[in-house]
Amino acid sequence: MPVSQTRVESLPHAIFLQRVSGNASPTSLEARLGQGAFLALRLVDLLAPGREPVSPDAFHYQCVATDRFCRELRGTSPEGAHVHGTTTSAADAYRLGDVRQVVPALLAYAHFLEDELRLDEALDVLATLLEVGGERLAASDAVAARLRIARVSRKLNRFDEAEAAYAEAGELAAARGDRYSELLSRIGRANTVLGRGNLAEAERSLRAILADARAADLHDAEARAEHGIGATAFYRGQPDEAVPRAFYRGHPDEAVPRFWRAFELYEEEDSRLRALNDLGVTLLMLGDATGAEHALSEVVHRGGNQDNLTNALIELMHCASYRRDRVGFARWRERCEARVADMPPNILADFYLKQGIGQARFGQYRRAEALMEEALRVATAAGLHESEFRIERIKNGLRECEQALRVEPAVPAEPVFDTAELREVSASLARLVG
């Protein structure tokens, strides 16, 4: 099973104890939350099948000690409430002899950790759910857990693990006639193919899924397929360079209506904001900085999960440098830097790259090159090959750009694409932000 690879070797749940061994004080809230999560999950482990039965007295002793520690965390933060909720759910599951009692708490905690970009910790919680639940899990929970494992693995660029978990989820969903989850599995696999860089195959799969979702009248699956097709159009139009030039090259205009359609179809807020974020990125790529800032500012205004919010802040920094707005660039950069510790590798590499692009736009080429070197280091360490190639290409163009700007300073260009569809989306965004 692919989820076995997500567990930290040596001590189970040791990933949470890294918070204690980090820079934070052992008595800080962050360290105590890590300890609480470790203790709560060790309590859940006692519910696993195939292990020596735990006597009621032994379980009671461990449960009381864990609850005493975690109860103090309950009112400190949202995560504290999740940690304590996991403890009480484990106690209920043992008392009732029904491991399914702990499933909602584990799924909710994993979702929280994913939103906070604590992706390895989220995988640990989800792996615990499957290991403890085993064959006793409800079929819907078994499918949901695998879909989430696949998505988190994909975010970490662990594509083999993601594909295996998506395949497992799809097989289970098909066996129980769950058409929606089966479509989610297919969409996830197509997005994994996209993540590997095979745009043509990803688009072919997503168009077929879109037709099936429409035929089944499943609007959320339709939204996800539209979103994925928009992503393939966006990546087909990726510019060869992102240094201070007159304008980005490429033709990703098809992505704009796709992302907007996904935004309209989604019912869940985080998904809507993800589509809005991608729309903003694409509009900037097309030269519509005003539309891009409308979309991205709305993402920041609404909040949502940390992944969406961090990406939006990075892109607003990118918008500011595109406009040659030094003050705005510095302001958004500071907000991004406050989140660096929690950025996964793909987002961290993007931050350093776009910060480097901004410095180049302001003529700070040495600083730009150093930042791009850091972006390349992060991408290489994480095995982000597509990002490596793009960063190297941009970095190699810095000197040429510097020489060109000595002759004629670059200024942001007007949007190249001016179709009725794009104007309609821009007008809709202006109405959205009021």
136-185 pLDDT tens trace: 999 999 999 999 999 999 988 899 999 999 999 999 999 999 999 999 99
* Dihedral class, residue 50 (left if φ above 0, else alpha if ψ from -120 to 50, else beta): left
Tokens representing 324?
């040659």
Eight-class DSSP state of 8: P
Tokens representing 382?
């994480």
Q: pLDDT value at position 251?
A: 53
The arithmetic mean of pLDDT across residues 401-422, rounded, is 58
The answer, yes or no, to whether residue 310 has pLDDT greater than 60, is: yes
Residue predicted with more confidence, 230 or 5: 230
> How far, in Å, CA of 399 to CA of 376, rounded?
17
> How far, in Å, CA of 9 to CA of 79, rounded?
24
- Could you write out the DSSP letters of every residue in 309-333? HHHHHHHHHHHHHHTT-HHHHHHHH
The answer, yes or no, to whether residue 403 has pLDDT greater than 70, is: no
> How far, in Å, CA of 116 to CA of 216, rounded?
33
Nearest Cα to 296, choosing from 132, 159, 429, 410?
A: 429
> How far, in Å, CA of 117 to CA of 246, rounded?
35
The answer, yes or no, to whether residue 7 has pLDDT greater than 60, is: no
- Listed ranges 50-64, 91-105, 374-388; the one with the highest mean pLDDT: 91-105
- How many residues are listed for the chain in this entry? 434
Output the CA torsion 82→88→92→98 (10° steps): 30
Q: What one-letter code names the amino acid at 197?
A: G
Average pLDDT, the chain: 88
Q: pLDDT value at position 383?
A: 76
> How far, in Å, CA of 411 to CA of 33, rounded?
49
Q: pLDDT value at position 408?
A: 45
Residue predicted with more confidence, 25 or 40: 40
Q: pLDDT value at position 236?
A: 80
Across 1-17, b (16+ Cβ under 10 Å) vs e yields: ebbeebbbeeebbebbb
Q: CB–CB of 428/267 below 8 Å?
A: no
Q: pLDDT value at position 341?
A: 87
The arithmetic mean of pLDDT across residues 103-107, rounded, is 97
The answer, yes or no, to whether residue 241 has pLDDT greater than 70, is: no
> How far, in Å, CA of 354 to CA of 357, rounded?
5
428 burial class (0-12, 13-18, 19+ CB within 10 angstroms)? middle
Q: pLDDT value at position 416?
A: 52
The arithmetic mean of pLDDT across residues 200-228, rounded, is 97
Indicate the pLDDT class of residue 86, thresholds 50, 70 and 90. Answer: very high
Indicate the pLDDT class of residue 23, thresholds 50, 70 and 90. Answer: low
pLDDT digits (tens, 9 = 90+) for 360-372: 999 999 999 999 9
Q: CB–CB of 210/229 below 8 Å?
A: yes
> How far, in Å, CA of 180 to CA of 217, rounded?
10
Secondary structure of residue 187 in the 3-state scheme: helix
404 burial class (0-12, 13-18, 19+ CB within 10 angstroms)? middle
The arithmetic mean of pLDDT across residues 387-407, rounded, is 75
Report the percent of the chain where pLDDT is more than 70. Answer: 89
> How far, in Å, CA of 179 to CA of 185, rounded?
10
Indicate the pLDDT class of residue 246, thresholds 50, 70 and 90. Answer: very low
Indicate the pLDDT class of residue 88, thresholds 50, 70 and 90. Answer: very high
